[in-house]
Structure 1
Amino acid sequence: MPGEPWFEGCLSGVGDCAHATRPDLGQGGAMAIEDGVELGVYMKEAIEAAGKPFKELSPEEVGAALRKYEIHRSHRVAHIVGKSGMMGNIFMVMGYLPRWLMRFVMSKAIHPTRFLEHTLWAPHGTLCLPEL
């Protein structure tokens, strides 16, 4: 549910379990993979900071890593979920328009070089944008 924490104690959700989105951008699976990578990064940081193996981390140490993961991911997730909802609404309205009008509106509303910007991601906040 929106606004609810993605984790409780030492357990965290990833992908749709943590932040379900509409299928209009096809990003649900990709976000789950991103979540896994980010979660791994924060768990590795917790292990290195504690200087002990994962199984010896305290619930507080794991919880702190999960909290960092959620804070870091929440901005991107909100962006994708928002864009997916927007595209779903556009496609729903477009279904009622004649095909020629739909093509015209889509060509003006979404520039081809910008359409897939929402998919750009690099682990742990390092984003590399392609040259356009």
Structure 2
Amino acid sequence: AWDATNVIDAGVAVVTPIDLDHTDRLGGTPAEIATEKSGIVKQDATVIMAQQPVEAAQVLLKKAVEVGATVAREGLEFGVLDRQVAVGGQMMTLRGLGGEYTEVYLPLHGAHQAHNAAVALAAVEAFFGV
């Protein structure tokens, strides 16, 4: 709600995985932190939501309903379908909002990086109106 990224009315809001960080400013539970982070969800926007703890997802979905935003959730509307270790990174198959992308090379290791890539892909697709 108080973050500098909240200065503009963006058509796409991206919420990465909520965890217990910055608890001195954001709150002590995933729900409290999600309440603060939900301030970026604007009227009629598209919300790209990474996998979340249940209590955080509930807060974010409630906010989206309140402002008439469309929600795309990792694991439902988009996500990582497959990932394999590759030299210098990983090869992935991603499901985006507009379809499936095979043989996507990511020069970073770790499942979390694959999930970040899926969120980024969905955000770009939403930005371009997919």
* Higher radius of gyration, 1 or 2: 1
TM-score higher than 0.5 = no
1 or 2, which has the higher strand percentage? 2
1 or 2, which has the higher helix percentage? 1
Instruction: Give TM-score scaled by structure 2 length.
Output: 0.29
Instruction: Give TM-score scaled by structure 1 length.
Output: 0.28
